[in-house]
Amino acid sequence: MRDFYGTTLANGFMLGTAQYPSPAILADAFTQSGAAVATVSLRRESGADRAGQDFWAMIRDLGVHILPNTAGCHSVKEAVTTAHMAREVFGTKWIKLEVIGEEDTLQPDVFGLVEAARILSEDGFQVFPYTTEDLVVADRLLNAGCEVLMPWGAPIGTGLGLNNPYGLRAMRAHFPDVPLVIDAGIGLPSQAAQAMEMGFDAVLLNTAVAKAGDPVAMARAFAMAIEAGTLAATADPMEPRDMAAPSTPVIGKAFLS
Amino acid sequence: MSRDITIVGGGVAGLSVARAVTDRGANVRVIDRAAGLGPHACSWWAGGMLAPFCEGETAEEPVVRLGQEAADWWQAKTGAVTHNGSLVVAHGRDQSDLRRFARRTTDFETVRGDDIATLEPDLGTRFQNGLFFPSEAHLAPRAALAALREGLERDGVTFELAEVDPHDIDGTVVDCRGFAARGDIPHLRGVKGEMAVLRCPDVTLSRPVRLLHPRIPLYIVPRGDGIFMLGATMIESSETKHVTARSLLELLSAAYAINPAFGEAEVIEIGVDARPAFADNMPRIGRRGHVITANGLYRHGFLLAPALARMVAAYIFDEQSPEVFDEHYS
């Protein structure tokens, strides 16, 4: 398994911590899922005087790797400020970098993303940029110092799955050695399995679990799907073919007609 | 000889417990850190929706069940309840959220544009689909608390102004300090909420309206006389001083979406506080020595205070272990 800035994860499940019915259900969902990474968004207003510390302490107590994010940031400056605050609060160099460019689709502002990624990388951060499947942008992000890329499956919160399988396959093929995480748009475990089967290193999701009727059961369902997809990817899947191929041997069968 | 009980905290929890134990014949005094009702109490900023079925969207089962006691209780103790149901609507692009809300809740009728316009003429046919919860109710929190206190004073309950540690008081003590008890009660956290009050005589609503939105749960509660309460953000933070521009923007946008006439409204109040909550967002009754604690009402102050108060009274008078007893706190 590819490592993330030198850290090897137990599995490819990264789970968000927002929008759960309660912190108790959030904690159960993590226990049941065995997710290796918890993403947590930092509101600047809570960070300023540490007023969010009760919640953060609970996230730390989950005992998994913490990936703070800059969710909801619309400018480079905002994202950089939030990243610094996150580093102080959680004591990690990891930062999931989000610079939102469009309000309806919440798609990344890739220009601002590359700029912020450069600033943060030079400042010692290990950046996980939320990007599109665009290969040129991906290349710029790598040049800016990123060693992990997080292409979207579909717009945040839509649950539409892998919207552009061709583009994502191309990205996987184009960057065989870069850890790639499908981030956003995953609605069902089957979609997470598909991403892992395609050779992605992890999936990051939040709404699909947090807003499920039973978040704990759904977290477990995703864990199983991600494990299945991971295993399938390493098992050298068969190639599809146009004509049927009998799975039982034909030789030796009685020749009747 | 009747029993002496001291209640620390004069918000919705403290006053409700005072009512319940007074009704059981106790001699009650309430000690609060401020004289009279006011902005120091989280319940001062409440929406006052008595909407157990709507809360079922995200809350645990006991909230829905216990919350059904609230409307009758408040009506009996204060006479301040409006029984007009509540209405849930969503914009065209958020219809999937409305379907999800319907799957998770009960006791509603599905309503279409014309039905919505009949229920709330000032919404017009702006919303094509909605859910109407006919058995839900609402109240004006400050009026209800004032009426509750008046009734208690009439029945001989005394009110004292002091900031005290409940453990320094002798006799039976019920600690209803809410978030102020944070240092004494493990795992109690704050969930920040921001609200605004608008005056808009051009708009009339008969019941609370919830506007579903993928990120923010928003509602508008009519207070009568053209006054509307607009709430409420839910932020994992114990900060209680600052209302952010973004939160206000979201709240006001929701009002504007419900009826553009709110664009002309006068903003008469902006408020912020932290709701006291435990990890499962359920209230807890606990005991340490002679002090009983009743806390963690979260966003369900007016909805669950009657049930919580009933359980505290049963615990004291009947030695009946409360359904929401906190075994970890003793």
Interface predicted TM-score (ipTM) over 0.85: no
* Calpha distance A152→B103 (Å, rounded): 29
Q: Is some CB atom of chain B closer than 8 A to the CB atom of A103?
A: no
What pTM value is reported for the model? 0.85
- Alpha carbon of A38: minimum distance to chain B alpha carbons (Å): 16
Side-chain half-sphere exposure of A137, counting CA atoms within 13 A: 20
Q: Where are the beta strands (DSSP E) in B128-188?
A: 129-133, 137-139, 158-161, 172-175
| Mean predicted confidence (pLDDT) in A157-174 | 93
Q: How far apart are CA B303 and CA B65, in angstroms?
A: 10
Among the partner residues B238, B242, B281, nearest to A22 by beta-carbon distance = B281
Q: Which two tokens stand for residue A48?
A: 């300023």
CB B157 within 8 A of CB B15: no
Cα–Cα distance, B119 to B108 (Å, whole number): 14
Sheet holding B86-90, edge to edge: B109-112, B129-133, B86-90, B209-212, B218-224, B227-231, B189-199, B266-277
By the 8 A CB rule, do A157 and A187 touch?
A: no
Q: d(Cα A138, Cα A177) in Å, to the nearest integer?
A: 13
Query: Exposure of B10 by Cβ count < 10 A (0-12 exposed, 13-18 middle, 19+ buried)?
Result: buried
Please indicate whether, in this complex, the C-beta atoms of B58 and A21 are within 8 angstroms of each other: yes
The per-residue pLDDT for range A81-131, each reduced to its tens digit, is 999 988 988 889 999 999 988 887 889 999 999 999 999 999 999 999 999
Answer yes or no: is pLDDT of A1 > 70: no
Is there a contact between B236 and A27 if contact means CB atoms under 8 Å apart? no
pLDDT of A35 > 80? The answer is yes
The CA–CA distances, whole Å, from B150 to A30, B14, B15, B26, B57 equal 48, 14, 10, 17, 35
State the pLDDT confidence band at A255, using cuts at 50, 70 and 90: low
Query: Dihedral through CA B301, CA B306, CA B311, CA B316, nearest 10?
Result: 100
Across the interface, do A45 and B238 touch by the CB < 8 Å criterion?
Answer: no
d(CA B295, CA B312): 11
DSSP one-letter code for A127: E
What kind and span of H or E run contains A204? strand A202-205
For B273, the token pair is 């506080």
Give kind and range of the element (H or E) at residue A142.
helix A135-143
**Which among A27, A49, A54 has the least Cβ separation from residue B189?**
A54
Q: Does A21 touch chain B (CB under 8 A)?
A: yes
Residue A243, min C-alpha distance to chain B (Å): 41
Give the helix/strand (H/E) hosting A69.
Answer: strand A65-69
Q: Rounded to whole angstroms, how far apart are CA atoms B168 and B170?
A: 7
Taking contacts as CB-CB distances below 8 angstroms, the residues of chain A near B282 are 22
At position B122, the amino acid (one-letter code) is D
In this predicted structure, what is the pLDDT of residue A257?
A: 55
Q: Is B281's CB within 8 Å of A21's CB?
A: yes
Strand order in the sheet with B172-175: B158-161, B27-32, B4-8, B172-175, B291-295, B284-288
Q: Are B236 and A55 in contact (CB under 8 A)?
A: yes
CB nearest to B237's CB, from A23, A46, A211: A46
Q: Cα distance from A18 to chain B (closest Cα, Å)?
A: 10
- Asked if A77 is an active-site residue, the reply is no
Neighbours of A15 (CB within 10 A): 26
The pLDDT assigned to B51 comes to 96
pLDDT at residue A256 greater than cutoff 70: no
A60-90 per-position pLDDT tens digit: 888 899 999 998 888 999 899 999 988 988 8
Sorting pLDDT into bands at 50, 70 and 90, what band is A42? confident
Q: Is the pLDDT of residue B39 over 90?
A: no
pLDDT at residue number A68: 93
